[in-house]
């Protein structure tokens, strides 16, 4: 069971087609898109920021140290988790680290912006949902 993003009716469907209001999310590049108007533009977070972050992540002390900290915390507090979802996964860098820290868990990522979500799908092997 999951709630419809439009009418909030709970229903069970693998296709995400709501029988109450007929809402069905768009499929873009093989991913469900629940908020297409928000996914393309943002004054607060420009599309090129994802590219800049992706270029920095493997070499920046900040990204590496932060990822190591999150991996340690996930391993300590969520070691027996069967699933884990990162909301706002950007390029998927932390998502990949979480998968290493939680090898038996099914790790999901969610990213609103299309530019970031495209990079997650290409670079990472995790399940992904676009808002």
Q: Which range has highest mean pLDDT (1-5, 32-36, 108-112, 126-130)? A: 1-5
Please check the confidence at residue 37 and state whether its pLDDT lies above 80: no
Q: How far is CA 83 from the centre of its chain?
A: 13
In terms of Cα–Cα distance, which of 66, 54, 58 is closest to 119? 54
pLDDT tens digits, one per residue of 51-103: 788 888 889 999 999 999 999 999 999 999 999 988 888 888 898 899 999 99
What's the CATH number of domain 35-130, 3.10.420.10, 2.40.50.140, 3.60.20.10, 3.40.50.150?
3.40.50.150
**How confident is the model at residue 52, as a pLDDT?**
84
For residues 36 and 39, what is the distance between their CA atoms, to the nearest angstrom? 5
Domain locations along the chain: 1-25, 35-130
pLDDT for 45: 73
State pTM to two decimals.
Answer: 0.69
């Amino acid at each position: 069971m999951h709630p419809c993003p439009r009418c909030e009716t709970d229903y069970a469907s693998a296709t995400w087609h709501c029988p109450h209001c007929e809402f069905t999310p768009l499929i873009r590049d093989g991913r469900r898109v629940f908020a297409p108007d928000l996914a393309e533009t943002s004054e607060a977070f420009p599309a090129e920021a994802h590219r800049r972050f992706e270029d920095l992540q493997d070499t920046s002390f900040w990204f590496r140290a932060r990822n190591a900290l999150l991996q340690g915390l996930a391993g300590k507090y969520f070691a027996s988790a069967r699933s884990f979802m990162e909301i706002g996964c950007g390029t998927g860098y932390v998502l990949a680290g979480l998968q290493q820290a939680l090898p038996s868990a099914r790790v999901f990522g969610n990213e609103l912006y299309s530019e970031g979500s495209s990079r997650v799908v290409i670079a990472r092997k995790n399940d992904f949902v676009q808002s």
